[in-house]
Amino acid sequence: MEVQERILDTAFGLFRQYGTRSITMDDIATRMGISKKTLYAHFVDKDDMVVHAIRRYLEIIQEEERIIISKADNAIEELFGIMNMMDEKLRNMNPVIMLDLQKFHSQAFLVFQEYRNSSLRTTIRTNLERGIGEGLYRKDLDVNILTQFRIASAMVCFQPEVFPLTGYDMGKVQRVLLEHFLYGVSSEEGFRLIEKYRQQQLSLNK
């Protein structure tokens, strides 16, 4: 792994745990055992590092989503795969990171918004259309409205006034909300498939 990628992964590991505001370039250099000068050889400043760290994190998510989608036999298996992946990616993440992006890192927040409004929207819409075509989702669904609804529900775990910083795990919140959404859009055939995948998952987790 290149030095820049190792820096970004280390930095994001700190950002996801403590938020961006409380982490300094000194903290990152100390964690890596390198000089601060090395950090500035790769990034203009902390804000530049945050932008690159968020972009790298989202690119990794998108690549994993593409792999999951390409291997899934149907729309419901696809969502279960994405649900498990996001559970892992968001586990123990401090939602304050999103507040910090909005307040202190406008460019990084724009990167996130672009992901939300483009890649995430396309993934949700395509899954809904796939599920309807496979007969696993109800044929009377309004795809436009439900795409917007799913985007909004995916963002709610970042709102501390809804889910306080202590007491809720972001990964679990996302999993529960996605499961709820999936039950709401499924046909009778889809419902039976959900139960099948849930039982398989429970067996694997024992």
Tens-place pLDDT, residues 168-202: 888 888 888 988 999 999 999 999 999 998 888 77
Question: Would you say 72 and 191 are in contact if contact means Cβ atoms under 8 Å apart?
Answer: no
Q: What is the pTM of this model?
A: 0.89
Question: Would you say 94 and 35 are in contact if contact means Cβ atoms under 8 Å apart?
Answer: no
Question: Would you say 172 and 119 are in contact if contact means Cβ atoms under 8 Å apart?
Answer: no
Tell me: the pLDDT tens digits for 20-76?
999 999 999 999 999 999 999 999 999 999 999 999 999 999 999 999 999 999 999
Please give the C-alpha separations between residue 111 and each of 55, 57, 85, 98, in angstroms, as whole numbers: 7, 11, 21, 12
